[in-house]
């Protein structure tokens, strides 16, 4: 029988299943409150892929525009919000124009806006039509500054026209790590916030989200730009919060299906344990366990089946997040063994000597080859200035390798209430002399 599966490994979490992030939400609500009262507080959300940045951003957006109730304040907010997502092809002026067009649309939909303020946005069409690219750097720079200037002017005019009816403007920029260094996001932010202040536009706040590399990118673009932002680094959910995701999902399924699907305590605990609280892992494992279950009671077997099936959770996550790193680029089991040993140390630095000690079956020369190949392909990082010290690029990659290389029995033997995963055992290790293609 086909049942509605409530878990969403592929999309931003909807409010019904949004779990945890309580401290962040309270702090972000405060930032909105400050902005509303003329003390704009910009923020930056960073963390690994799949940790829940976009989901948090959407939740903040909902609170800002009054769709969701704030956690603490009884008062619903009424900001004009825009949420733009950047990509690797975005230039400096693309970013401003993208924000501008989205804002214009949002503002134009407000009835109260006066004609003169509508007119303030005409610069966008003008720029779009005359979107000439200047070869000469000086002229291009002047044009970029002018564009930021016009955007600020249009925002100021519109806010004046709307009066106290709105709380202000919230500009959300997702995947802000994506544009190349030449897009100069740090300078752009600096310029934009400065111009807004000069024009007395003090009810506008900017929120960025991106990978941890975003901070470095901002700093490289403009030294003090990072200081404009309150930084929130997202961590995995706690075991209790994972359970909350499961509870909420199953409650939603009950509503839609008209009957209950339960999960055993053991399976729930085990799921929190192997996923280590990574929200994208939680959604994917829960989705597959739900899918594998046939008696409306998700147990350890369903979890295990869902995880290891041909197209199960681990495969899906691998394809979506790590396949390039783990499969495409590495053909040999020796390489995988090295990764498995490194995964025991999560994303901490490990020396070659340590790896050697733990990967006993690897010959010294094989280990050398493996490390240098993994390094060249960007699968592991080498510590600058310290010879023979390496780490995995992200903690979630380590968690995935550990889960992937665990035997299924290990899922079943989750120690109650424990936070760290058991040692990965060699699930698919080949002999030391198998060919390296
Ligand atoms: N707080 C949360 N509670 C439950 N699920 C979440 C939460 N945050 C994220 N998720 C889920 O995790 C996955 C990745 O979330 P997303 O916001 O796209 O991460 P990011 O933007 O950091 O890559 C999605 O499937 C989403 O539904
Ligand atoms: Mg995202």
In this predicted structure, the answer to whether residue 425 has a pLDDT above a threshold of 70 is no
**pTM summary value:** 0.86
Q: Are residues 85 and 211 in the same domain?
A: yes
Q: Based on the fold, state whether residues 195 and 59 are members of the same structural domain.
A: yes
Residues of the chain with pLDDT > 70, as a percent, come to 87
CATH number at residue 215: 3.40.50.300
The ligand whose atoms approach the alpha carbon of 83 most closely is 2
* In a shared domain, residues 278 and 227: no
More confident site: 355 or 377: 355
Could you give the count of Cα atoms lying within 13 Å of 109 in the half-sphere of its Cβ?
A: 8
Is residue 80 one of the residues assigned to a domain? yes
Cβ(277) – ligand 1 distance below 6 Å: no
Q: Is residue 11 part of a domain?
A: no
Residue 261 lies in a domain: yes
Question: Which residue's CA is minimally distant from atom 8 of ligand 1?
Answer: 52
Ligand 2 geometric centre to CA of 302 (Å): 29
Q: Is the CB of 53 inside a 6 Å radius of any atom of ligand 1?
A: yes
Please list the residues that pair with 390 across neighbouring strands.
350, 382
> Which residue is closest in CA terms to ligand 1's atom 23?
50
Q: Do 151 and 54 sit in the same domain of this protein?
A: yes
In a domain, 322, yes or no: no
Residue 226 has pLDDT above 50, yes or no: yes
Q: Judge if 218 and 246 occupy the same domain.
A: no
In terms of domains, do 67 and 178 share one? yes
pLDDT at position 122: 81
CATH code, 283: 1.10.8
Q: Quick: pLDDT tens for 269-281.
A: 999 998 999 999 9
Q: Is 344 in the same domain as 408? A: yes
Q: How many CA atoms lie within 13 A of 163 on its CB side?
A: 5
Query: Using one digit for the tens of pLDDT, what is the confidence trace for 94-116?
Result: 899 899 999 988 988 887 777 77
- Pocket of ligand 1 contains residue 21 by CB under 6 Å: yes
**Pocket of ligand 1 contains residue 245 by CB under 6 Å:** yes
Cα(215)–Cα(262) distance, integer angstroms: 42
Please name which ligand lies nearest the alpha carbon of 56. Answer: 1
Question: Could you give the CA distance from residue 163 to residue 159 in angstroms, rounded to a whole number?
Answer: 6
C-beta 9 within 6 A of ligand 1 = yes
Nearest CA-CA partner of 56 in 197, 208, 254: 208
- The closest of 399, 409, 414 to 269, measured between CA atoms, is 414
CB count, 10 Å around CB of 121? Answer: 24
Domain ranges, residue 119 = 21-233
Task: Give 382's strand partners.
Answer: 390
Q: Ligand 1 centre and the CA of 228: distance in Å? A: 26
For residue 43, which phi and psi values (nearest 5 degrees)?
-140, 160
Does the C-beta of 59 come closer than 6 Å to ligand 1? no
91 CA distance to ligand 1 middle (Å):
27
DSSP result, 339-391: HHHHHTTTTS-EEHHHHHHH-TTS-HHHHHHHHHHHHHTTSSEEPTTSTTEEE
Domain end (from 171, 204, 233): 233
Residue 51 alpha carbon, nearest atom of ligand 1: 22
Do 250 and 226 lie in one domain? The reply is no
Of 233, 248, 269, the domain-final residue: 233
Confidence band of 14 (pLDDT split at 50, 70, 90): confident
Query: What is the total residue count of the chain?
Result: 437
Measured CA to CA, the distance from residue 104 to residue 169 in angstroms comes to: 12
Q: In testing the pocket of ligand 1, which one of 10, 47, 48, 50 has its CB within 8 Å of the most ligand atoms?
A: 50
Mean pLDDT taken over the chain: 86
Q: How many CB atoms lie within 10 A of CB 180?
A: 12
Contacts of range 178-182, beta carbons closer than 8 Å, 24 or more positions apart:
178/86, 178/87, 178/88, 178/90, 178/210, 179/86, 179/87, 179/88, 179/90, 179/91, 179/95, 180/88, 181/217, 181/220, 181/221, 182/91, 182/92
How confident is residue 418, by pLDDT bands cut at 50, 70 and 90?
very low
Residues 293, 410 within the same domain: no
Report if residue 9 sits inside a domain: no
Taking the C-alpha atoms of residue 359 and residue 244, their distance in angstroms, rounded to an integer, is 38
Q: How far is the CA of 55 from the centre of ligand 1 (A)?
A: 5
Residue 40 scores a pLDDT above 50: yes
Task: Write the pLDDT tens digit of every residue in 262-313.
Answer: 999 999 999 999 899 999 999 999 999 999 999 999 999 999 999 988 889 9
pLDDT tens readout for residues 55-76: 999 999 999 999 998 888 778 9
Both 282 and 252 in one domain: the answer is: yes
Work out how many domains the chain is built from and give that number.
3
Check pLDDT > 70 for residue 140: no
- Expressed in angstroms and rounded, the spacing between residue 384 Cα and the centre of ligand 1 is 33
- Same domain for 94 and 200, yes or no, is yes
Placement of tokens 């299943």 in the chain: 17
- C-alpha 17/C-alpha 237 separation (Å) is 13
Structure tokens at 341: 């040993």
Distance 8 CA to ligand 1 centre (A): 9
Q: Ligand 1: which residue has its CA nearest to atom 6?
A: 279
Continuous H helices in 109-238: 115-119, 122-129, 137-162, 185-198, 213-221
pLDDT-derived band at 321, boundaries 50, 70, 90: confident
Do 414 and 375 reside in the same domain of the chain?
yes
Last residue of a domain, one of 212, 233, 254: 233
CA of 101 to the centre of ligand 2 (A): 21
* CATH code assigned at 418: 1.10.10.10
Q: Per the domain annotation, does 6 fall within a domain? A: no
Going 183 to 185 to 188 to 192, the CA torsion angle's sign is positive
The answer to whether residue 12 sits within a structural domain is no
Please check whether residue 8 lies inside any domain of the structure: no
């Amino acid at each position: 029988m086909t049942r509605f599966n409530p878990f969403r490994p592929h999309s931003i979490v909807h409010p019904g299943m949004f779990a945890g992030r309580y401290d962040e939400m309270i702090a972000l609500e405060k930032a909105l409150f400050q902005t509303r009262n003329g003390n704009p507080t910009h923020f930056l959300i960073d963390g690994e892929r799949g940790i829940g940045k976009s989901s948090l951003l959407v939740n903040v957006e909902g609170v800002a525009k009054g769709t969701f109730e704030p956690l603490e304040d009884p008062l619903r907010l009424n900001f004009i919000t825009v949420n733009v997502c950047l990509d690797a092809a975005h230039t400096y002026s693309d970013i401003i124009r993208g924000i501008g067009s989205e804002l214009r649309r949002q503002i134009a939909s407000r009835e109260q806006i006066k004609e003169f303020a509508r007119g303030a946005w005409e610069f966008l069409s003008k720029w779009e039509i005359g979107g000439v690219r200047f070869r000469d750097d000086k002229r291009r720079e002047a044009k970029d500054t002018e564009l930021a200037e016009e955007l600020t002017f249009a925002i100021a005019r519109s806010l004046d026209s709307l009066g106290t009816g709105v709380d202000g403007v919230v500009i959300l920029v997702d995947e802000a790590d994506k544009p190349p260094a030449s897009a100069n996001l740090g300078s752009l932010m600096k310029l934009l916030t400065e111009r807004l202040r000069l024009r007395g536009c003090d009810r506008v706040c900017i929120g960025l989200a991106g990978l941890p590399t975003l901070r470095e990118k901002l700093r490289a673009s403009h030294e003090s730009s990072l200081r404009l932002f309150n930084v929130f680094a997202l961590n995995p959910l706690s075991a209790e919060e994972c359970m909350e995701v499961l509870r909420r999902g199953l409650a939603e399924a009950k509503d839609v299906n008209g009957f209950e699907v339960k999960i055993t305590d053991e399976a729930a605990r085990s799921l929190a344990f192997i996923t280590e609280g990574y929200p994208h892992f939680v959604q994917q494992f829960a989705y597959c366990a739900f899918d594998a279950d046939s008696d409306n009671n998700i147990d350890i077997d369903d979890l295990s089946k869902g995880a290891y099936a041909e197209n199960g959770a681990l495969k899906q996550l691998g394809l979506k997040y790590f396949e390039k790193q783990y499969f495409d680029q590495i053909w040999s089991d020796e390489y995988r063994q090295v990764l498995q040993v490194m995964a025991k140390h999560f994303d901490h630095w490990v020396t070659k000597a340590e790896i050697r000690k733990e990967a006993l079956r690897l010959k010294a020369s094989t280990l050398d080859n493996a490390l240098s190949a993994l390094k060249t392909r960007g699968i592991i990082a080498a510590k600058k200035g310290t010879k023979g010290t390496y780490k995995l690029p992200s903690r979630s990659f380590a968690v995935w390798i550990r889960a992937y290389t665990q035997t299924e029995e290990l899922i079943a033997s989750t120690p109650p209430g424990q936070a760290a995963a058991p040692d990965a055992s060699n699930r698919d290790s080949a002999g030391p002399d198998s060919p390296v293609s």
